Amino acid sequence: MVQNDNEYYKAYLREKQARDELETLLEDKTRSLYLANQELEANLAQLKRQHAAILQSEKMATLGVMSAGVAHEINNPLAYVNSNISTLGQVVKGVSDLIKASQLFADNGLDQQAFKETVKALEEKYQLGFFAEDAQELIEDCQDGCQRIAVIVASLLDFARPKNNEFVMADMTEAIDSALGLLANQLKHIELIVEKGEIPLSFCNLAALNQVIINLLINAKYACEQAKTKGVCQTPLIKLLLRHANRQLLIEVTDNGTGIEESQIEHVFEPFFTTKPVGQGTGMGLAVAYGIVSEHKGTINIESKPNQGTKVTVTLPVCTSD
C-alpha cells in the first residue's frame, strides 16, 4: 500500500513539473507574442507616417508644377480689380469736390450759376457722368474678381494642407470639380471634354482622390503638349469621364498625346520611374495614385499606344462603410 502511495506521489510530481513547465512556456510565448505585436504596431504606425509623408511630398511636387498656372489664374482677376480700383480712385477726388460744392450750395455759400459752373468743371475734369453710369459695374467686377481669387486660394490651400486621411461618405464628383478648378489655366489650351454621370455617395478619402485626378490630368496634359510639339496631333484633347455601373465608380482620363511604349507600361507604377526629362517629373505621381486607389480597394489600368494616346481607367467599388 505504501509503495502504491509512493508511486502515485511520484506521478503527481511529474505531472506538476510538466504543468509548471507548460505554464512557464506559455508565459514566455505570451510575452514574446506581446512584444512582437508591440513591434508590429510601432512599425505599422511608422509606415503610416512615412506613407503620409510621401503623399505630402508628392503633393508639394504637384503644387510646384501647378504654381505657374495658378499664379496666372490669380493674376487675371487681380489685373482687372487693380484697373477698376485705379479708375475708381481717379474719380474719388472729383466726387469729394462735388459733395463739398453741393454742401456749399445747400448752405447758400454758392449761387446757382457758380454751382453749375463748378459741377460742369468737375464733370469735364473727372468724367463724373461716366462714373455715375459705370460705378456699380466696376464695383461688381471687383467683387467678382476678389471672390474668384478667394476660391482659387482656398482650393490651393485645401489641396496643399496635410490631411488626416479620414474616409467619409462623399460625392467623388467634388474631387473632379476641385481638380478641374485648380488646373483650369493649365488646361485652357487643350480641348477638354468632361462627362459626369449621376453617382451615389461612397465611403472614400476625397482629398486623396483629388490628388489622383490632378496627377492623371497633369500627365495627360504633358503628353498632349509633347504630341503637339512633335506634330503627332494638331488639336490636343483630354476626355474625363465619371460614371457608375454595377456598384462601381469608373473614372477615365483619355488623351491623344505621345502615348507610352509597351515595354514601359509595366514600370509606370514603380516609384521614381518617369518618362519625362530630368527636372520635369518626380516619378512618384502614378506610384502615389496606385497606392491611393489600392487603399480604396480599387484598380487602376493603363492602355496606351505610342503616338496615339493613353487611357487611364480607375475603378472604385461603391462602399457604404469601412
**Same domain, yes or no, for 129 and 221?**
no
- Per-residue pLDDT at 255 exceeds 90: yes
Q: What is the pLDDT of residue 79?
A: 83
- Per-residue pLDDT at 1 exceeds 60: no
The residue segments making up the domain with residue 244 are 166-317
**Same domain, yes or no, for 144 and 200?**
no
Inside any domain, residue 55: no
pLDDT in tens, 118-156: 878 877 777 777 776 777 888 888 888 888 788 777 766
**CA–CA distance, 264 with 261 (Å, rounded to integer):** 5
CATH number (domain holding residue 178): 3.30.565.10
pTM equals 0.61
Least confident interval from 184-188, 230-234, 271-275: 271-275
Domain boundary, last residue among 144, 159, 174: 159
3-state secondary structure at position 266: coil
Domain boundary, last residue among 108, 127, 159: 159
**Same domain, yes or no, for 258 and 208?**
yes
Long-range contacts of 4-11 (CB under 8 A, 24+ apart): none
Q: What is the pLDDT of residue 252?
A: 96
Q: What is the pLDDT of residue 309?
A: 93
**CA–CA distance, 260 with 263 (Å, rounded to integer):** 8
**CA–CA distance, 128 with 141 (Å, rounded to integer):** 19
**Same domain, yes or no, for 303 and 181?**
yes
Q: What is the mean pLDDT of the chain?
A: 81
**Same domain, yes or no, for 268 and 203?**
yes
Q: What is the pLDDT of residue 46?
A: 75
**Same domain, yes or no, for 251 and 287?**
yes
**Same domain, yes or no, for 155 and 192?**
no
Q: What is the pLDDT of residue 95?
A: 79
**Same domain, yes or no, for 140 and 183?**
no
Residue 233's contacts (CB-CB under 8 Å, 6 or more residues apart) are 224, 227, 256, 257
Least confident interval from 52-66, 94-108, 121-135, 213-227: 52-66
More confident residue, 59 or 232: 232
Domain boundary, last residue among 131, 159, 187: 159
Q: Mean pLDDT across the stretch 243-270?
A: 90
Q: Write the DSSP string, 108-165.
A: TSS-HHHHHHHHHHHHHHH-HHHHHHHHHHHHHHHHHHHHHHHHHHHHHHHHHS----
Q: Which range in 45-49, 140-144, 202-206, 240-244 is most confidently predicted, on average pLDDT?
A: 240-244
Inside any domain, residue 9: no
| Total domains in the fold of the chain | 2
**Same domain, yes or no, for 143 and 206?**
no
Q: What is the pLDDT of residue 315?
A: 94
**Same domain, yes or no, for 151 and 232?**
no
**Same domain, yes or no, for 180 and 154?**
no
Q: Mean pLDDT across the stretch 263-278?
A: 76
In the structure grid, which three cell numbers stand for residue 254, read together?
Answer: 483619355
Determine contact, residues 142/82, Cβ cutoff 8 Å.
no
- Per-residue pLDDT at 240 exceeds 90: yes
**Same domain, yes or no, for 260 and 299?**
yes
